[in-house]
A = this chain, B = another copy of it.
Amino acid sequence: MDRDSVVASLLRRLETVSKLDPADIAAIRSLPIAVRHWAGARAIVSDGERPSECCLIIEGFCIRSKSTEAGQRQILSIHIPGDIPDLQSLHLHRMDHDLSTLVPSTLGFISHASLRTLTHARPNVADALWRDTLIDAAIFREWIVNVGQRPAPARLVHIALELRRRLLSVRGGTEPATFEFPLTQEQIGEALGITPVHANRIIRQLREDGIVDVSRGQVHVLDETRLAELAQFDDRYLHQDPAA
């Protein structure tokens, strides 16, 4: 993967979310990024560690998760190319959760030192990155609502629609009827706060009802109208318009 397309994914992301002037863009372009390939289902950084770099997803999917003492795991967020899922480690030095790949992925590592130099030199870039972490937090808030208030089927379709919406900033175009959703039923359960058995139940139900088919790492929307009605998905919390 060449350098330009590596930075491109990051820039596309920051620009869908913030306004940057040419000098800012040039400064971001000159960030040193170490590209590495990762297998699927592997830890990138783990709870308790003190990383000295942040991880840009260039290709693939990652998740953040947190485990209780009782051994249960909660998935906190799903990440796509262009995301820097552990940007918070720049200021929160000790990890309080895990970051790992979902599928084989290409990752770009950027040292905290170079990011700190950049943000101190260019307040505009600092603001853009800060804003990025704030959107991250906005998504966490929506997930609290999701897990706390919605019944399990609505929970599932809500995170699916969120992912589809966010993928637009990478894949471009309009919202597709079929898109990648590389979670096993067990992982779906971990994201929704339900058991894998119950995840299976609701997936089957949604399929039988002709609303949506979640299988083999993909989502196929069967009935867009009833899906929207069930999910109550409003993308405002994603703050994707830099002007707004």
Binding site for B on A (CB under 8 A): 64, 66, 68-70, 72-74, 76, 88, 91-94, 96-97, 119-120, 123, 126-127, 130-131, 133-138, 140-145, 147-150, 192-193, 232, 236-237, 239, 244
B residues in contact with A144, CB < 8 Å:
66, 74, 76, 140, 143-144, 147
A139–B48 Cα distance when bound, in Å, is 16
- Nearest residue (CB) in B for A87 is B134
Copies in the complex: 2
Which of the residues B96, B134, B237 comes within 8 Å of A133, measured between beta carbons? B134
- Contact among B64, B91, B148, B239 with A127 in the assembled complex (CB-CB below 8 Å): B91
With contact pairs A68-B150, A123-B126, A149-B68 given, residues A96 and B138 touching in the complex (Cβ less than 8 Å):
yes
| A74: chain B residues within 8 A (beta carbon) | 144-145, 148-149
Complex-state Cα separation, A119 to B119, whole angstroms: 11
Query: Do residues B135 and A92 form an inter-chain contact, with CB atoms below 8 A?
Result: yes
Q: Which of A91, A144, A192 has the most CB of B within 10 A?
A: A144
Task: Given A66-B142, A96-B141, A126-B130, output 11 extra A-B contacts at Cβ < 8 Å.
Answer: A66-B141, A88-B137, A91-B130, A92-B135, A96-B239, A119-B126, A130-B130, A137-B137, A140-B141, A140-B144, A149-B193
